[in-house]
Amino acid sequence: MEAKEFEFRGFKSNGFLMLFANFVLIAASVCIIVFLSEYGVWPIILGVLGIIKSLFVWAGFFQLEPNEARVMVFFGKYRGTFKETGFFWVNPFITKKRLSLRSRNLDVKPIKVNDKAGNPIMIGLVLVWKLQETYKAMFEIDSQTMASTQTATGTTVVGVQTVSSRMNAFENFVKVQSDAALRQVAGQYAYDNNEAESEELTLRGAGEEINHRLVNELNNRLTMAGIVISEARINYLAYAPEIAAVMLRRQQAAAVIAAREKIVEGAVSMVKMALDKIDSEGIAKFDKEEKVRMVSNLLVVLCADEAAQPVINTGN
């Protein structure tokens, strides 16, 4: 058996032409039975054989829509993949396994993983996938067993397969592999810069790079199944519930510290400007001790959370 996909090489015919020929065969068989039965049993046998043959012909008809394919199997042997759209007829003994080549979405529910720093996080993924190589999809993985349909009572009906059940089997395969790929990629990066050096990529700050890494990792894993990932994006990212409150306070503290740094930087600049202005315009003369007190008072006023209450000195 060849291990590579190729176009169907067997005999095919226009479906409408074979449909007309089959109706002619049925009509001729009926006419032979009705009008020639008086000449003996052989015309009747010939007419019955013609009707039986027409029943076999019906099994050879099939149609294909755009972005669909049929995997042709002749008594266990792969005979190629049929992708031409339209209405056709082939050998009735060829099994025609229908597949969809259209793109599909998959929303991977958030899972709990540990980031590079060991913190538990919740991360989810949405991706777009489609079948690319039908041979690998049908014969390299056990998709046909996974595609066994289930009845309303939940019992498995082995051997009964539809295009929907096959595509669901592929989707389950993609879901398992995407879960593993997401865990591997997420474990190589920290959640944010609180757990990593500023120059390192993080899950929060390097969205496009992470998405590109996910696409490559998923394509490497799904090549064996003939499936290609068109797009993969992280659509949910948060700390796990058990540490979410602690990490929120940590983020709030970091934000307060950053704001205080800006306030102090601005206050020092304003104090320096005020002292330089007073000296340059000769408004007042301060010794070193008085400048220290003035700087201290101005910094308290400028950096305080509440408005300062002025104290008027009426003495000398």
pLDDT at 308 (0 to 100): 61
45-103 tens-digit pLDDT: 888 888 888 888 999 999 999 999 999 999 989 999 999 999 999 999 999 999 999 99
Q: How far apart (Å, rounded) are the C-alpha atoms in residues 96 and 234? A: 38
3-state percent helix, strand, coil for the chain, nearest multiple of 5 = 50, 25, 30
pLDDT at 306 (0 to 100): 65
Distance of alpha carbon 48 from the chain centroid? 55
What sign has the CA pseudo-torsion 3, 182, 234, 106?
positive
**Burial of 116 from C-beta contacts in 10 A (0-12 / 13-18 / 19+):** middle
User: Does residue 64 contact residue 82 with C-beta atoms inside 8 Å?
Assistant: yes
pLDDT at 307 (0 to 100): 64
Which residues, in sequence order, are bridge partners of residue 229? Answer: 129
Which token pair is 73?
């199997």
Angle at 105 between CA 65 and CA 133, to 5 degrees: 55
Q: How far apart (Å, rounded) are the C-alpha atoms in residues 161 and 168? A: 11
Q: How far apart (Å, rounded) are the C-alpha atoms in residues 232 and 216? A: 9
Q: Where are the alpha helices (DSSP H) in 223-287?
A: 241-281
Q: pTM score > 0.75 for this model?
A: no
Distance of alpha carbon 88 from the chain centroid? 34
pLDDT at 158 (0 to 100): 46
pLDDT at 310 (0 to 100): 62
pLDDT at 151 (0 to 100): 40
CB neighbour burial string for 56-95, b if at least 16 within 10 angstroms, e if fewer: ebeebbbebeeebbbbbbeeeebbbbbbeeeebbbeeebe
pLDDT at 150 (0 to 100): 47
In the block, tokens 């500023």 appear at 198
3-14 tens-digit pLDDT: 588 999 889 999
Please spell the DSSP secondary structure of 85-153, one letter per residue: -EEEEE-TTEEEEEEE-S-EEEEEEEEEEE-TTS-EEEEEEEEEEEE--HHIIIIIS-HHHHT-EE-TT
Using 70 as the pLDDT threshold, list the residues of the chain that sit under it: 1-3, 146, 148-161, 194-199, 244-247, 250, 305-316
pLDDT at 303 (0 to 100): 74
pLDDT at 2 (0 to 100): 43
Q: How far apart (Å, rounded) are the C-alpha atoms in residues 228 and 136? A: 12
